[in-house]
Amino acid sequence: MRIGAIVIHCFEFDRMVDFWSRALNYVPREPAAGGWVVLTDPKRRGPNLSFQQRNHPKTKRSWLHLDLYTSDAGREVARLLRLGAKQYAWRSKGARDFVVLEDPDGNLFCVVQKDDK
């Protein structure tokens, strides 16, 4: 068994699809239809990321989030902010190897410094 897709329900459907396509360099498996699209990794390294449109914004923070690993967290955070992410004021004690951001629909995700070795 393996993860086939991670599904995100979203209110800002077009912005979310555009943001995550550009953030991960994923492409639609098929054109979006009926408020649904599956983004896929063209190199087949990662799971699909699917989006289902909702007619109202979420009311609570989700307990599910993505951790994005990179060897250059500073550069990636800056790029994601330019694409439309927002900095999230995460309260934690001590040093950390991640930055918490929000996507266009307000979902939290982390950019984690993970050196390639």
C-alpha distance from residue 57 to each of 27, 96, 109 (Å): 25, 30, 17
DSSP per residue, 25-68: T-EESS--BTTEEEEE-TTS-S-EEEEEE-SS--SS--S--EEE
pLDDT at 117 over 60: no
Class of domain 5-113: alpha beta
pLDDT at 38 over 60: yes
Neighbours of 48 (CB within 10 A): 15
Q: Which two tokens stand for residue 60?
A: 């609570």
Q: What is the pTM of this model?
A: 0.84
- Percent of all residues in the chain with a pLDDT value above 70, rounded to a whole number: 97
* Mean pLDDT value across residues 53-73: 88
Neighbours of 89 (CB within 10 A): 5
pLDDT at 12 over 90: yes
Amino acid present at 103: D
For residue 74, the 8-state DSSP code is H
